[in-house]
Structure 1
Amino acid sequence: MRRTIKMRNSILILAIAALLGSCGKTTDTDKLKAKLERIEKDIQSKTIEAAELKEQIRELDPEFSKAKDQSVLVNAEAINKSDFRHKIQVQGEVASRKNITLAAETMGSVEQINVTPGDMVKRNQLLVKIDASTTLNRIQELKTALDLAKTIFNKQKNLWEQEIGTEVQYLEAKNRKETLERQLATAQSQLDMAYVRAPFNGRINDVNINIGELVQPGLPIISMVSQEEMYLKAAVSEEYINDFDKGDSVEVYLPSIKKSFSTVVSSVSYVINPANRTFQLEVKVNEFIDRLKPNQFARLTLVDYENESAIVVPSDVVQQDNIGDFVFIIESKDNHKKAKKVRIERGKTYNGNTEILKGINEGDVVITDGYREAVNGIDVRLAK
């Protein structure tokens, strides 16, 4: 029993000691905080006093002012409104509206090939001749029969005009003659199918047949292309579907021949390709036509945005912090030039320049060099 009472007394004494120690620490902390507050107030008052003294000394001793100068050396530029253009580059290729493959229209063996790949040909020039001996024989038979039919028809017509013979005999002779005329025209068309001719002026790209080879109707035999209707086509992201119109200017670069030229948009498709979410844009070709070939690569530069009276600054001067974008401008205050931090809203960026939508106005002077050393309110000196 006595041992239990002694243990309880010991625990009580330890708790009272811990409480007194805690109170002592709290008192020491409060004293330190109070001392720090006094020092900070003293520093603030001394800083204000030092600034007032510096101002008084500057008025009396200019040399002192130069010695104590803590300003930042900068370059600056007054902002004027200017034309700002944002451009995009897309990959295009050369195409031709006259890039075709000619196919056989009749069955037969190849009798004659008059061209080789690379040849220039004229419209209606004979390219390939397919054996048509059967058709030629048929034409000769029809011509012979038609000659007889015409003779009989003419005699029947004369008799009918003299009221000799019957009307039926006259009509049968007429029908026979007209039927043979139609059959001859059909055979002549079949014969024309055996002669493959150039549909336009152009160049032979490929010949897919050989002499003696049997061809079937629809079989590709010759491909040819014309440079008369060359154009450029490009697949453009649907993001720009409303940014381009017919007549917009385009800069074209042809890497394969290292040539550039200016042209315009000739047409804009408003149908989106669901496979790659693009629309087709076509561009006129007005230079180097004789050096272009279908599927040749081209790089197209187009203006997708333009502001004729934009506030534009060099992109390098736009800085960021945890709040957002800002630039430093120069403002005059108390006969001193000081840096001022201005929050901005940026627009598009292109070719090292950034459009500013909000924050600075025409006439503001933006720091273009030394802006990384600048802080809000610091004195600045303009470099000469």
Structure 2
Amino acid sequence: MKAAIKFLPLLALSILTFSCAKEDDVTAKKAKLESLKSELAKVSTEIRDLEKELMELDPEFAQQNKKSILITTAAARKGEFTHFVEVTGSVLSKKNVSISAETAGRILEVPAVEGMRVAKGQILARIDSEVIQRNIEELENSLALAKTIFEKQERLWSQKIGTEIQYLEAKNRKEGLEKNLASLKTQLDRAFVRAPFNGTVETVQVRIGELVQPGSPMFQFVGESDLFIEADISESYVGVLSKGDSVEVSFPSVGKSIQTKVSAVGAIINPNNRTFKVEVFLPNMESLKPNMISVLKIQDYKSPDSVIIPSHLILSDNRGDYVFIVEEGLSKKKYIKRGMSFGDETEVKEGLQGNETLVDKGFREVGDNFSVNIAQL
């Protein structure tokens, strides 16, 4: 027990000595690391300064040490460039009519509702026709008697019995009653308001129980045939568009496009929005409805032999528009004179021949005479 007690102070002294030695070693290594970092920063600064001086004094050294920038390329091309005017139009119908009452009476029935599609001859409303119906019944009775008298008079006259005047009076009375009956039946038919052609009921302007007179408006009706497109075009295009010009029309709601022609060009400028009307012919298509939105693409410029490049590659500075082209592993700044643009293509009037290789991806990172490396896609 006494020997163990004597050993404890020696063990504690050993542990303390080892701990101090370890701390001294860590401190020395940290000091050495800081010294090396300081030397590295100093050397790096000297290297950058020397490289900068050498690049200014020796162009060949500058070219060898310039960092290459990874890019992709796009080709300028020569071909036909076409520009279009895109405007929004609306599908309309030449059969847009107001249906009015043709006889007087009270509305008994209105089966038509707004937005309802109907076929030609389908009943839209029914007007009270009781008086006309009674008159028809009376005329039919009178006509039956007149026919009997005429037939008997005709037989007598064929036997040379009686006078010609009696025969003609009987005939005239019968024919007169037939015409009156036909007239009343026409009036009776007008008590049923019918669709004049296939189409859609836009508005209903009468209600059951209302009293109408001949000429009273009852329905606004739009036919499904004889459709056309009407659009407002800016007055800046006056003289550019004319009757017969080709136009591409798309209908976003049904995902369809057709090629058609301008059928009429307005002669008056609207002073409120400085536009003029253009009418475009529309063939019969089952999926098209009046008031449907359409997009008209009208050609207003065409050049058969133009230099064409992607529009997004064009940059600008105080001098003008430019692009970067690739020559012998370097990016070269080329100033251009641009023409019209449509979509993501621009016509180049001056500055390019059409056989150049343009810097595409990475065009904002390069500069004039930068070394470039074309990525292999």
The TM-score, its normalising length taken from structure 2, stands at: 0.66
Structure 1 range deviating more: 197-206 or 178-187: 197-206
- Give how far 1:205 is off: 4.3
DSSP 3-state at the match of 1:209: coil
Please give the alpha-carbon distance, in whole angstroms, between the structure 2 residues aligned to 1:112 and 1:162: 55
Specify the alignment match of 1:34 in structure 2.
none
Specify the alignment match of 1:382 in structure 2.
372
| CA separation of 1:71 and 1:223: change in aligned 2, threshold 3 A | closer
Specify the alignment match of 1:177 in structure 2.
174
Specify the alignment match of 2:310 in structure 1.
314
- C-alpha deviations, 1:67-108, integer Å up to 9, x for none? 565999876544222454434332223434555442211111
Q: 2:351 aligns with which of 338, 359, 364?
A: 359
Does the 8 Å contact 1:94/1:297 carry over to 2? Answer: yes
Please give the alpha-carbon distance, in whole angstroms, between the structure 2 residues aligned to 1:183 and 1:79: 84
Q: 1:279 aligns with which of 274, 277, 280?
A: 277
- Give how far 1:129 is off: 1.8
Specify the code of the residue in structure 1 equivalent to 2:247: D
Structure 1 range deviating more: 269-278 or 297-306: 297-306
Please give the alpha-carbon distance, in whole angstroms, between the structure 2 residues aligned to 1:206 and 1:164: 65
DSSP 3-state at the match of 1:88: strand
- C-alpha deviations, 1:98-146, integer Å up to 9, x for none? 5544221111112233344455544323332212222222222322332
Please give the alpha-carbon distance, in whole angstroms, between the structure 2 residues aligned to 1:118 and 1:341: 60
The TM-score, its normalising length taken from structure 1, stands at: 0.65
Specify the alignment match of 1:103 in structure 2.
100
Structure 1 range deviating more: 133-142 or 114-123: 114-123
Specify the alignment match of 1:269 in structure 2.
264
Please give the alpha-carbon distance, in whole angstroms, between the structure 1 residues aligned to 2:66 and 2:201: 80
- C-alpha deviations, 1:223-257, integer Å up to 9, x for none? 44555666543223351664575663223324xxx
Matched, 1:295 2:291: yes
Specify the alignment match of 2:211 in structure 1.
214
Specify the alignment match of 2:252 in structure 1.
253
| CA separation of 1:249 and 1:168: change in aligned 2, threshold 3 A | same
Structure 1 range deviating more: 178-187 or 300-309: 300-309
- C-alpha deviations, 1:283-342, integer Å up to 9, x for none? 6488893xx76435455455544556531123344455677655555556xxx8683645
Please give the alpha-carbon distance, in whole angstroms, between the structure 2 residues aligned to 1:266 and 1:146: 59
- C-alpha deviations, 1:196-231, integer Å up to 9, x for none? 123344554443323322111111223445556665
DSSP 3-state at the match of 1:383: strand
Specify the alignment match of 1:17 in structure 2.
none
Please give the alpha-carbon distance, in whole angstroms, between the structure 1 residues aligned to 2:283 and 2:263: 15
Structure 1 range deviating more: 66-75 or 146-155: 66-75
Does the 8 Å contact 1:108/1:214 carry over to 2? Answer: yes
Q: 2:160 aligns with which of 156, 160, 163?
A: 163
| CA separation of 1:252 and 1:322: change in aligned 2, threshold 3 A | same
Does the 8 Å contact 1:127/1:198 carry over to 2? Answer: yes
Gaps of 5+ in 1: 1-49, 59-63
Please give the alpha-carbon distance, in whole angstroms, between the structure 2 residues aligned to 1:175 and 1:346: 88
Specify the code of the residue in structure 2 equivalent to 1:311: V
DSSP 3-state at the match of 1:199: coil
DSSP 3-state at the match of 2:267: coil
Matched, 1:339 2:350: no
- C-alpha deviations, 1:40-78, integer Å up to 9, x for none? xxxxxxxxxx9xx968xx6xxxxx464565999876544
Specify the code of the residue in structure 2 equivalent to 1:382: V
Please give the alpha-carbon distance, in whole angstroms, between the structure 1 residues aligned to 2:174 and 2:128: 29
Count of residues paired in the alignment? 314
Please give the alpha-carbon distance, in whole angstroms, between the structure 2 residues aligned to 1:137 and 1:370: 91
Please give the alpha-carbon distance, in whole angstroms, between the structure 1 residues aligned to 2:262 and 2:295: 17
Equivalent runs, 1:1-384 vs 2, <5 Å:
64=61, 66-67=63-64, 77-82=74-79, 84-117=81-114, 119-225=116-222, 227=224, 232-238=229-235, 239=237, 242-243=240-241, 245=244, 248-254=247-253, 260-265=255-260, 267-275=262-270, 276-282=274-280, 284=282, 289=287, 294-307=290-303, 309-318=305-314, 325-327=321-323, 329=325, 339=332, 341-342=334-335, 344-368=336-360, 370=363, 374=367, 379-384=369-374
Gaps of 5+ in 2: 1-53
Does the 8 Å contact 1:236/1:281 carry over to 2? Answer: no
| CA separation of 1:226 and 1:169: change in aligned 2, threshold 3 A | same
Does the 8 Å contact 1:74/1:380 carry over to 2? Answer: no
Specify the alignment match of 1:19 in structure 2.
none
Please give the alpha-carbon distance, in whole angstroms, between the structure 2 residues aligned to 1:338 and 1:224: 66
DSSP 3-state at the match of 1:274: coil
Please give the alpha-carbon distance, in whole angstroms, between the structure 2 residues aligned to 1:76 and 1:118: 56
Specify the alignment match of 1:61 in structure 2.
none
DSSP 3-state at the match of 2:233: strand
DSSP 3-state at the match of 2:92: strand
